[in-house]
Structure 1
């Protein structure tokens, strides 16, 4: 997802600058940990009803883009 910036916020005054899903105080890292633990997108949506599928895909896209950027 290339338009992750519509869903993901990085603000130094919130969560010590960790990226989070817009409109929440839930860090992208927490979502990535849930996925790494074997949760599905549907599991996350059930546990966090404030999220949309696009929010989660944006978090994945943000993470992927951040990792790729750190390798250059």
Structure 2
């Protein structure tokens, strides 16, 4: 399996973190940063916590990708709830 790239900052490399999406050049899981954003943590605090290995652009990319996934999958989720 080869490395997959999503955007400018996010990759999934079979040799890094069991192919979980991470930030390019860092072994920091995207899901962890996304959870920090969801909890309301300030972006500046996230950046400092990860010792500047995660940038503002990287966080913005995570938020953008989450929004795109929601837009893509929301109709399916709504139709499944109506059926249930």
Greater relative contact order, per chain length (Cα 8 Å cut-off, separation 6+): 1
Segments of 5+ residues of structure 1 without an aligned counterpart are none
Larger Rg over CA atoms? 2
Q: Distance in 1 between matches of 2:70 and 2:17?
A: 20
Displaced runs of 4 or more, over 4 A: none
Matched residues, number: 69
1:62 aligns with 65
Q: TM-score, normalised by structure 1?
A: 0.74
Q: TM-score, normalised by structure 2?
A: 0.66
1:17-63 Cα distance to aligned partner (Å, 9 max, x none): 21111111111100011112220111111212122210111121222
- After superposition, the Cα gap between the structure-2 partners of 1:38 and 1:62, relative to the gap in structure 1 and judged at 3 Å, is same
Segments of 5+ residues of structure 2 without an aligned counterpart are 1-5, 77-84
